[in-house]
Structure 1
Amino acid sequence: MTLTPDLPTTTVETDEVTVVVATRNRADRLRETFPHHRARTILVDNGSDTPPPVFPGVETIALAENRGAAARNVGVERARTPFVAFADDDSYWTPGSLTRAAELMRRHPRAALLAARVLVGPEQRDDPVNALMAASPLGTPPGSAGPSILGFLACSIIVRRDAFLAAGGFEPRLFVYGEESLLAMDLAAAGHELSYVPELVVRHLPLPSGRDNGARARVETRNRVLTAMLRRPAAVVARTVVAAARENRGGAVDALRQAGWAWRHRRVVPAAVEADLRALG
């Protein structure tokens, strides 16, 4: 672990937020995005093959192995601010967004998570998730910060640190792809609000795709089934398994191999949260 002095105050937009950046083997993209972070930042290196760049004033936590999404939990644990914003090595929050997010968190004490509008690429096109969150069938509860959601992109959210830690953060078993759903359910089950706030903006600059889409689809299917096993009623689990077997048999089989673990850690969400999940389809 490398410790360096605090960020210069001229680059700090708010002292109420820590930005946690998870990275793995993307040093070049990290050099492009990292200077845009406008709050105290913790960089979590997720077992990169070579160490990431060193940035003055930044705490870097080097993990010995790739923990997937759960690497973010380590950064949140080290943070000491009431709110934590997530970014990946290819994303950053636009100027003013962190300050505004902190203001909204203070104004809405029930809010545990705010999701920002995501603009993709140099052309700044809207990510399709923006329209889905804006049109959430759950509506906008009175006094909330925005439309109620139970889905989001992890690189574009700010969380209330104590609520995130109490919910257990991101589940290590899910690793990556679809890991957000379980966290959303657990925060909602604890009585917190999760809202989409489009005035908060995150830029996302993904590299040209070099990923194995077939492998990703298999993991996403596995995680969808495991999440259902962990939190949904038995009838929903059964339907999810059947649908998954049709969509991606390998992913369904992978989930069933971990069914024992999932059922041992099973904690069905309250009826109100389950009703919201059904409303979202």
Structure 2
Amino acid sequence: MTTPPTDRGTAVPQTGRSPIGVVIATRNRSASLAVALRHLLALPERPEILVADNASTDDTRAMVRRDFPRVRVLALPFNRGALARTHGTRALRTPYVAFSDDDSWWAPGALSTAVRLFEAHPRLGLIAARTLVGPAAEPDPLNDVLAASPLGPAGDLPGTQVLGFLACASVVRRSAYLDAGGFHRVLFFGGEETLLAYDLAARGWGVTHCPGVVAHHHPAPVPRADRPAVQRRNAVLTAWLRRPLPYALARTRDLAAEARRDGQARRALRETLARLPAALRDRRALPPHVERAARLLDGATA
């Protein structure tokens, strides 16, 4: 089993500044971003907030600089997808980083709770929060899935061990996130969380669901049309990046069979094959204990 890591490279914030910051990856959604920023700026923790803008062509950058002078803008020259969070995390330099999207924010006190958990548990690398959805604050169904994880608790970690989470409702130890490499460039966006959870666990960091840390998510009422194809693509690419070859081949065969009758699956298969050479170049099998945990979760969701 991988030796538990130490907290390598943690930047110490200046006296009086919050030890936790928020990174928001966004592109061309200035109106919803403004709503999220108003909620985040009202938090009692007063976190430093950084918007990593994925080359927006609307008024996102001008709006943030004009209306939210406390918020930093990292203006990326082109759309980096989920990697915008990594650029933001490198720039922010607080010991702990909470991720929000331009349609999500954190409940008052949630970030303070996260800091206490990280400081009490040195191996903890990522917290998967409890997510409340929409104006009615309905529990996201993912909450129950995470709480029922068959991986169970660990003696040196809070909550329940998981290998999945919702990116916009997660908090990371900055050093752990960078140690694991952050979100992977091959996946871009959509279902990118599982691979990061694998990579954190492979490096010895704990990934847990802690329901006392609460995030609010207000997604658009109509989901993006391409999301099912992107999520299928990234599930198969994740298999090629980290799982045993027979498993990756089986997932690819399943997708090819679906593609005969389903347009979204056909798109997912085309995009998988286009990205497969890059995935194979970055292929790195999971350590045996993490592969066993992944198989246990595969059985729980079958």
TM-score by length of 1: 0.92
Residue 271, structure 1, aligned to residue 288, structure 2: yes
Question: 1: distance between equivalents of 2:116 and 2:30?
Answer: 33
Question: 2: distance between equivalents of 1:244 and 1:106?
Answer: 43
Match of 1:9 in 2: none
Per-residue CA shift, 1:110-145, capped at 9, x if unaligned? 100001100000000011110000000111112311
Runs of 4+ in structure 1 displaced over 6 angstroms? none
Question: 2: distance between equivalents of 1:132 and 1:258?
Answer: 30
Per-residue CA shift, 1:9-52, capped at 9, x if unaligned? xxx9x711010011111111112121221311011111111231
SS at match of 2:98: strand
One-letter identity of the residue aligned with 1:36: H
Paired residues for 1:81-100 under 5 Å: 81-100=94-113
1:166 deviation in Å?
Answer: 1.5
Match of 2:21 in 1: 18
Structure 2 residue runs of 5 or longer lacking an equivalent are 1-15, 259-264
1:238 deviation in Å?
Answer: 1.2
Match of 2:93 in 1: 80
One-letter identity of the residue aligned with 1:245: A
CA contact (8 A) 2:186 2:275 kept: no
Count of paired positions: 268
Question: 2: distance between equivalents of 1:93 and 1:180?
Answer: 19
* 1:232 aligns with one of 243, 251, 267: 243
The CA RMSD measured in Å over matched residues stands at: 1.6
Match of 1:194 in 2: 207
SS at match of 2:239: helix
Question: 2: distance between equivalents of 1:154 and 1:128?
Answer: 15
Question: 2: distance between equivalents of 1:260 and 1:33?
Answer: 38
One-letter identity of the residue aligned with 1:252: L
1:221 deviation in Å?
Answer: 1.5
Match of 1:61 in 2: 74
Question: 2: distance between equivalents of 1:83 and 1:246?
Answer: 43
One-letter identity of the residue aligned with 1:16: P
Question: 1: distance between equivalents of 2:121 and 2:257?
Answer: 42
One-letter identity of the residue aligned with 2:284: R
* 1:51 aligns with one of 52, 59, 71: 59
1:210 deviation in Å?
Answer: 5.3
SS at match of 2:117: helix
One-letter identity of the residue aligned with 1:47: A
Question: 2: distance between equivalents of 1:151 and 1:72?
Answer: 17
One-letter identity of the residue aligned with 2:53: D
TM-score by length of 2: 0.85
Question: 2: distance between equivalents of 1:29 and 1:260?
Answer: 36
